[in-house]
Structure formats: C-alpha cells, structure tokens
Amino acid sequence: MCRKNEAISRKRYNVISSNECETKLRVGHRLYYKTDLPDQSLINSYVHKTCYVKVTRKLPSIKPRKQQMVEDYNDTTNTLDEIASGDSNFNVGDSPLNIEQEVNANVVLTRR
C-alpha cells in the first residue's frame, strides 16, 4: 500500500485476513488518499501497522459489526424456534385469517 520495502516482521505489519478488513482498508485508503487501490485482492497481504492505522482510524471497528450480526442472527433463530415449537403468543385462531376484519378490529381498539 505504501510501497515501503522492509523485512516483514509481526511487530510492524498487519495481515489482511478477511473481506471485512480488506473493505475497511479500501474505504480508508479512498477517504485518506482520494484514490482507489488496485482491484487485486488484498487478502493474505501485509500492511504496515502505522499505515493501516493512519487510513482506518476514523472508520468504525470491525468487531462490533460482526458481534451485532451474530446477535441479530441468534435473535432471529430464537424467534423462529419459538414459532416452530408453538411457544409464542402468536395465535391465528381456528378461523381463516380475514385481513379486513383484523384491520377493522385494530382500528376500533386504537380509537378508544
């Protein structure tokens, strides 16, 4: 990214190991330098830690977004499990669902 040539050591470099990290680096580079990186994949490539921090410091971290996605997935799975097991409060009743009756019933309840 910065075109510096040094011996690769763990102390000075980050390895781009995920699509999220690559996307964050590309967005940060575009915002900081006003140019795009080449289209080739950056996964498994090395970037100076100082350069990475310089271009990505104003962007949100990746961990909270991933954690939020996992939490949303777990909430959805739990809701689907409740519906499948019949434990939820969702009750259609014995008669077929009539949309007009449901809407009218809800309108009457909200007017009171």
CB atoms under 10 Å from CB of 56, counted, come to 22
Write out the H or E segment, with its range, that includes residue 21: helix 19-33
Structure tokens at 35: 């140019």
Task: Please determine, for residue 42, whether its predicted confidence score (pLDDT) is greater than 70.
Answer: yes
Share of the chain above pLDDT 90, in %: 22
Which two three-digit tokens encode residue 21? 């990290």
Cα distances from 68 to residues 44, 89, 91, in angstroms, run 25, 26, 30
> Tokens standing for 59?
């962007």
Residue 41, pLDDT score: 92
Higher pLDDT, 64 or 107: 64
3 state DSSP class of 46: strand
Residue 19 above 70 pLDDT?
Answer: yes
CA separation for the pair 32, 23 (Å, rounded): 14
| For residue 101, pLDDT beyond 70 | no
Contact 13, 48 (CB under 8 A): yes
- CB neighbourhood size of 29 (10 A): 21
